[in-house]
Chains A and B, each alone.
Chain A
């Protein structure tokens, strides 16, 4: 059943902007909450299970919907070079957070903490890069299909 839309065109556009901001507030908020929970107790995975599930649903839906529409990003070029850069950023973020959490828990073993942080950095970098490349291949296939010229019927 389709509900009647009471908004005019301008209100509809304004509503879409509001919903978009709401999405990003939820996205950043959930990520921030998970990072804070990770700082408090990184072993208690059950505490952040709910946030993680909602966050992953948002990520998977966004990835699926944008790839289906043949959309990559407003500002980032769909290239391997940018994938290397952005996976590096993700790797550094995870590496630094892991290092800080480990230093908080085990200040007497700084070198071990650095090694664990470095492992977190490398694993995240590789995994993020692999996922981004996979998405890039899917995107290129999809955009090639969408941009195929249809035969003009008379």
Chain B
């Protein structure tokens, strides 16, 4: 599933994928894949992304149950 929360937060802060990638120490491609929902990051990387975007893990990575069911 695409991580739109992360993408919107990044755009809100006017940070490019490249800049975010540099801040958390990964490649731009990795950030792109997380936002596209094609790569599940480790908790460590999730933490680094949340710190860089000034939000909590819940804000970016928590999925509501009804959303899951709707997806299924």
Whether the pair A150, B32 counts as a contact (CB closer than 8 A) is: yes
State whether A152 touches B27 (Cβ < 8 A): no
- B9 at interface, CB cutoff 8 A: no
Measured between beta carbons, the chain A residues less than 8 angstroms from B17 are: 149-150
Total interface residues on B, CB under 8 Å, equals 9
Do the beta carbons of A70 and B7 come within 8 Å of each other? no
Chief secondary structure at chain A's binding surface: loop
Bound Cα distance A148, B28 (Å): 8
User: Given that A152-B7, A152-B11 are known contacts, is A147 also in contact with B16, CB under 8 Å in the complex?
Assistant: no
The contact of A149 among B7, B27, B28, by CB within 8 Å, is B28
Instruction: Label chain B's interface by main secondary structure.
Output: helix
Mark interface residues in B20-36 (1 if CB within 8 Å of A CB, else 0).
00000001110010000
Q: B18 at the A/B interface (Cβ < 8 Å)? A: yes
Task: Using CB atoms, name the residue of chain A closest to B21.
Answer: A147
Q: Which residues of A come within 8 Å of B, CB atoms?
A: 70, 146-150, 152
Residues of chain B at the chain A interface (Cβ within 8 Å):
7, 11, 16-18, 27-29, 32
**10 extra A-B contacts, CB within 8 A, seeds A70-B29, A147-B27:** A146-B27, A147-B28, A147-B29, A148-B28, A149-B16, A149-B17, A149-B18, A149-B28, A150-B17, A152-B7
